[in-house]
């Protein structure tokens, strides 16, 4: 599915300083019943965001109007658990284009990269700086520069570089997906399939 190209993103950020945020929190299983990819943002962090009577939980960060932006900053081991891509869809559909953490779970990271959300892994120290900067000023801006592979706290100029493989970087910059690539080498795949033992 096509997504917006990613180049340089400058935005304020929403802080979620909790560790081991699993995909059941990002989107509970009871909201996975759709047969189309739409509306998942409404249920992002559903049970942290809403009471059982659907009224907003005031203390949850997404319900606090002083925090906004296209960058979500989470604690260590973000996105663990279930492989549901719906978690990444919910993040994207809500309006985030980038998730920053000191550590990501594998499948969530892959899912993000496949749908145009950039996972940026920073050091625990830099993550702490980001949380403190947002705590000091909720409007503080971050610049995420994909071509240069850097993330910068614009107020202080503090910067860190992040890793991403060249192939995925190219995909995100151009809005390509893996299926286009695979369909282009379909004849190689068919030839390979003829020689598999199983």
Interaction between residue 111 and other proteins (CB under 8 A): yes
Sheet containing strand 98-101, edge to edge, reads 118-121, 98-101, 71-74, 8-16, 141-145, 150-153, 158-161
- φ, ψ of residue 48 to 5 degrees: the values are -90, -20
Interaction between residue 49 and other proteins (CB under 8 A): no
Q: Helix, strand, coil shares of the chain as percentages rounded to 5?
A: 40, 20, 40
Could you say which of 37, 57, 132, 173 contacts other proteins (CB under 8 A)?
A: 37
DSSP code at position 107: H
Query: Per-residue x/- marks for other proteins, 52-81, CB under 8 A?
Result: x----------------------xxx--xx
Instruction: Compute the C-alpha angle 140/91/163, nearest 5°.
Output: 70
Stretch that binds other proteins, among 6-14, 105-113, 127-135, 151-159 (CB under 8 A): 105-113
Q: Applying CB under 8 A, which residues contact other proteins?
A: 1, 17-20, 22, 24-25, 28-30, 32-37, 47, 52, 75-77, 80-86, 88, 103-107, 110-111, 114-115, 165-168, 177-179, 181-183, 185-186, 188-190, 192-193, 196-198
């Amino acid at each position: 599915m096509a997504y917006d190209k990613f180049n340089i993103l400058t935005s304020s950020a929403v802080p979620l300083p909790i560790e081991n945020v699993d995909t059941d929190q990002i989107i509970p299983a009871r909201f996975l019943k759709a047969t189309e990819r739409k509306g998942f943002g409404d249920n992002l962090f559903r049970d942290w965001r809403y009471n059982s009577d659907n009224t907003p939980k005031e203390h949850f960060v997404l319900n606090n109007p002083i925090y906004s932006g296209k960058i979500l900053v989470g604690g260590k081991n973000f996105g663990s658990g279930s492989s549901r891509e719906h978690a990444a869809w919910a993040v994207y559909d809500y309006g985030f284009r980038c998730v920053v953490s000191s550590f990501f779970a594998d499948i969530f990271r892959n899912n993000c990269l496949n749908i145009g959300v950039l996972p940026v892994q920073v050091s625990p120290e830099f993550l702490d700086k980001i949380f403190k900067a947002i705590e000091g000023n909720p409007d503080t801006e971050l610049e995420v520069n994909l071509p240069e592979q850097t993330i910068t706290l614009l107020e202080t100029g503090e910067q860190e570089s992040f890793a991403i493989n060249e192939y995925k970087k190219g995909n995100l910059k151009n809005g390509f997906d893996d299926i286009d690539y695979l369909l282009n080498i379909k004849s190689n795949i068919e030839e390979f399939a003829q020689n598999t033992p199983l």
